[in-house]
Chain A
């Protein structure tokens, strides 16, 4: 009787029950995340589809461990990108701060995100450019709450 329970526990531990799934980062890379952060801060990127009714569907999470991470995001459709800065401490426990914006990536363009977390302050800036070296233009920050059904 105990064995099936143990098996289930192991299965849950292996598959993960946190609701976080890995983003299938298989598309052509068009989002380059430049990361600067303090030690001990974990940064991840949640990718959501946004439908015509402004409902966000979770696609998955990319752990941003490298100094520059390359991500392939779909073009010609609205997405919600949420950068999460997470910390753990004995005193304050686990905490996570999210910074999200809606974006509609265009085919043939590249997107450079600069994510910074320093001294309990953070910023995320996304630029659209024709190439990785080009300056490009800063993307407008659009909250999911600004989305109006039927307008996107």
Chain B
């Protein structure tokens, strides 16, 4: 079921973009504009200094998202079942500047799903998050993603607040 769902999502992202998958984080932000089908933009303000939020992104993103994920599913048939294997590689990128921290999450299928259209080298963008200082001990975080990636979105929200949970990327 999921093996069809994820490519479908990528098609949705492609359709949202009008002419192809976003090639940069900036293009992805524009595609995931509020009001678009399945687009999810979350704005939150957390009671933590900007440096801590940026530190959480730097610590948690490689730990949780630098993964190669293999999913096996078996479809029953008269011979017992056909097993399909989908392998995807996730690549997180964290860019920390003086006044802004960015987290980009990309995913590339390496087995089991044929990608459509031109995709960035590290795969299509699933999520982009921006953190900026919002006064003393406060940080404003904006997360751009697609609503189906709710666990990924929840994880980034949690990291912004200081929690240390990783999303199960197979679910």
What 0/1 readout, one digit per residue, does chain B (58-100) give for beta carbons within 8 Å of chain A? 0100110011011111100000000000000000000000000
Say whether B166 contacts A92, CB under 8 Å.
Answer: no
Rounded to whole Å, the gap between the CB of B70 and the closest CB of chain A is 8
Q: Which bucket holds chain A's interface residue count?
A: 20 to 34
**Which B residues between 45 and 67 are near A, CB-CB below 8 angstroms?**
59, 62-63, 66-67
Most buried by A among B71, B164, B170: B170
Say what secondary structure dominates the interface of chain B. mixed
A141 in contact with B63 given A91-B1, A120-B151 (CB within 8 Å): yes
Say whether B170 contacts A121, CB under 8 Å.
Answer: no
**Any B CB within 8 A of the CB of A99:** yes
Q: Which bucket holds chain B's interface residue count?
A: 20 to 34
Say whether A121 contacts B168, CB under 8 Å.
Answer: yes
Q: Give Cα A92–Cα B66 distance, bound, in whole angstroms.
A: 22
- A-side contacts of B118, CB under 8 Å: none
Say what secondary structure dominates the interface of chain A. strand
A93 in contact with B166 given A120-B151, A120-B171, A121-B154 (CB within 8 Å): no
Interface residues of B (CB under 8 A from A): 1-2, 59, 62-63, 66-67, 69-74, 151, 154-155, 158, 164-171
Interface residues of A (CB under 8 A from B): 85, 87, 91-99, 116-117, 120-123, 125, 141, 143, 145
